[in-house]
Amino acid sequence: MYICICNGITDKQIRDAAKAGVTNLTGLQQELGVAAGCGTCGDAAAEILAEHRQHKAEPVRPMVYRPALA
C-alpha cells in the first residue's frame, strides 16, 4: 500500500528500510524521502517503524516437546 503519495513510497519499502537499520522518521526521510513533501504520511510511516521495533523486540518462544499421553 502506498504510504507516501508524493514520492510513491510503499509500506513494504518502509519495512525493508527498517529491516536494514532505519530507526526513525528522519532516517526514512534521508533514505526514501518519506514525509519530505507535504508531510501527511509522517505519522503512518512512524507507526510502521514502531510496529517493526515492537515485532523485533518480542522474544521468540522455543517449542517445547511434550509427549502425548496414552
Compute the distance between CA of residue 53 and CA of residue 57 in angstroms, rounded to an integer: 6
**Residue 67 clears pLDDT 90, i.e. is over it:** no
Closest CA to 29 of 39, 19, 20: 39
**Residue 69 clears pLDDT 90, i.e. is over it:** no
Amino acid at 68: A
Domains of the chain: 2-57 (1.10.10.1100)
- Look over the chain and give the mean of its residue pLDDT values, rounded to a whole number: 87
pLDDT value of position 54? 85
Q: Compute φ and ψ for 37, nearest 5 degrees.
A: -100, -105
Please give the residue that has the higher pLDDT: either 23 or 65: 23
Give the max Cα distance, the chain.
65
pTM for this structure?
Answer: 0.76
Q: What is the CA radius of gyration of the chain?
A: 17
